[in-house]
């Protein structure tokens, strides 16, 4: 009887609020489902990549030990930073509608496509997912941390445990839009700190930072650098979408300035 009532309720909801594509809004067959056009436009980042920062590379090397020039010159404080898709119109819309349009259901959609790159990082039961934290002022004004919602969804989908309070953001940071790499790094320097008891919870674990968009990498580098002091055995990062330079991939790719402008200034409510 309960099953029949749930099915009837679902039918009523679907009639009143039919599921729509999270990318363009056209009617689709089920919740958290892209239309064919939007699905086809997504660039999944599952090819050859740098073993340290996971930026796509033109060709693979035996053993997967290739590193990009940037990592050889200045290695990041994490071992692998994959993303589900390249940052483009559809990936951007999904992220913005979660972050500013309060479409919190998009967190599960993003997590569903992040399961595969997460699995490539190692066994779920050896991980501890750590969402990139917001400063308390930003959290109060927004009402939620989008990275934490994605981490929660990944935990439900994979069983990997998460810790929302291992890392804290101890100071607000200025917008990174239009800034060069050195300036970005200066802005986020000292922004993060380990929470009380973090070393006890993190020691010997594989920590995986979770974020929505990986643009310049300054925020992930700062957060990972702080986590290095926790005694963790390994640190990785995982994002929904990543900006990829045009030289490495053609198609729906945008520069860092446009990403920052979108993520910090727009309000997507459609």
> pLDDT tens, 151-190?
999 999 999 999 999 999 988 776 666 666 777 777 788 8
Q: Does 227 reside within a domain?
A: yes
**Which band of pLDDT confidence, cut at 50, 70 and 90, is reported for residue 249?**
low
Does residue 158 sit in the same domain as residue 178?
yes
12 confidence band (pLDDT: 50, 70, 90): very low
Q: Specify if 144 maps to a domain.
A: yes
Does 254 lie in the same domain as 190? yes
Write the burial class of residue 153 (CB in 10 Å: 0-12 exposed, 13-18 middle, 19+ buried): buried
Q: Residue 203 in 3-state DSSP?
A: coil
Instruction: Look at residue 217 and give its three-state secondary structure.
Output: coil
Q: Are 241 and 83 in contact (CB under 8 A)?
A: yes
Tell me: do 30 and 55 sit in the same domain.
no
| Whether residues 53 and 73 fall in one domain | yes
- Do residues 26 and 91 share a domain? no
* Mean model confidence pLDDT for the chain: 84
Decide if pLDDT at 66 tops 60: yes
Structure tokens at 102: 């309060």
- Work out the percent of the chain whose per-residue pLDDT is above 90: 58
Instruction: Tell me if 169 is assigned to some domain.
Output: yes
270 falls within a domain: no
| 16 and 84 both lie in a single domain | no
What's the angle, vertex CA 23, arms to CA 105 and CA 154, rounded to 5?
35
For residues 19 and 127, state if they share a domain.
Answer: no
Same domain, yes or no, for 61 and 151?
yes
Q: Which residues pair with 219 in a beta bridge?
A: none
Q: 252 pLDDT band (50/70/90 cuts)?
A: very low
Same domain, 74 and 181: yes
Look up the CATH number of the domain holding residue 75. Answer: 3.40.50.2020
How many Cβ atoms from other residues are within 10 Å of residue 26's Cβ? 12
- Straight-line distance from the first to the last Cα atom of the chain, in angstroms, rounded to the nearest whole number: 37
User: What value does the CA radius of gyration of the chain take, rounded to a whole number of Å?
Assistant: 19
Does residue 26 sit in helix, strand or coil?
coil
55 CB neighbour count, 10 Å cutoff: 24
* Whether residue 216 sits in one domain with residue 116: yes
Section 68-91 average pLDDT = 93
Quote the domain boundaries for residue 26.
1-41
Q: Which residues contact 73 (CB under 8 A, 6 or more apart)?
A: none
What is the value of pTM for the model shown?
0.84
8 belongs to a structural domain: yes
Torsional sign, CA 98, 99, 100, 104 = positive
Say if residue 210 is in the same domain as residue 117: yes
90 and 104: one domain?
yes
Number of domains in the chain: 2
Residue 233 main-chain phi, psi, to 5 deg = -75, -30
Q: How far apart are CA 164 and CA 148, in angstroms?
A: 7
Answer yes or no: is pLDDT of 236 > 80.
yes
| Consecutive H or E run containing 129 | strand 127-131
Q: Are 27 and 19 in contact (CB under 8 A)?
A: yes
């Amino acid at each position: 009887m309960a099953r029949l009532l749930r099915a009837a309720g679902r039918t009523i909801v679907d009639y009143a609020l039919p599921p729509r594509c999270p990318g363009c809004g056209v009617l689709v067959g089920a919740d958290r489902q892209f239309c064919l056009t939007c699905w086809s436009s997504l660039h999944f980042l599952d090819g050859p990549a740098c073993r340290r920062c996971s930026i796509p590379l033109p060709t693979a090397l035996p053993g997967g030990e290739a590193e990009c020039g940037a990592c050889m010159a200045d290695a990041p404080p994490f071992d692998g930073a994959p993303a589900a898709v390249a940052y483009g119109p559809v990936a951007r819309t999904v992220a913005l509608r979660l972050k500013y349009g309060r479409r919190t259901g998009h967190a599960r959609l993003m997590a569903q496509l992040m399961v595969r790159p997460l699995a490539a990082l190692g066994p779920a039961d050896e991980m501890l997912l750590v969402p990139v934290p917001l400063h308390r002022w930003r959290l109060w004004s927004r009402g939620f941390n989008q990275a934490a919602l994605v981490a929660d969804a990944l935990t439900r989908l994979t069983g990997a445990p998460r810790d929302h309070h291992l890392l804290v953001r101890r100071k607000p940071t200025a917008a990174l839009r239009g800034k060069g790499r050195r300036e970005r790094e200066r802005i986020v320097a000292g922004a993060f700190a380990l929470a009380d008891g973090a070393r006890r919870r993190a020691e010997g674990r594989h920590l995986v930072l979770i974020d929505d968009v990986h643009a310049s990498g300054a925020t992930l580098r700062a957060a990972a650098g702080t986590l290095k002091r926790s005694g963790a055995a390994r640190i990785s990062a995982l994002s929904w979408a990543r900006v990829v330079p045009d030289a490495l991939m053609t198609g729906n790719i945008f520069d860092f300035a446009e990403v920052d402008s979108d993520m910090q200034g727009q309000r997507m409510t459609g």
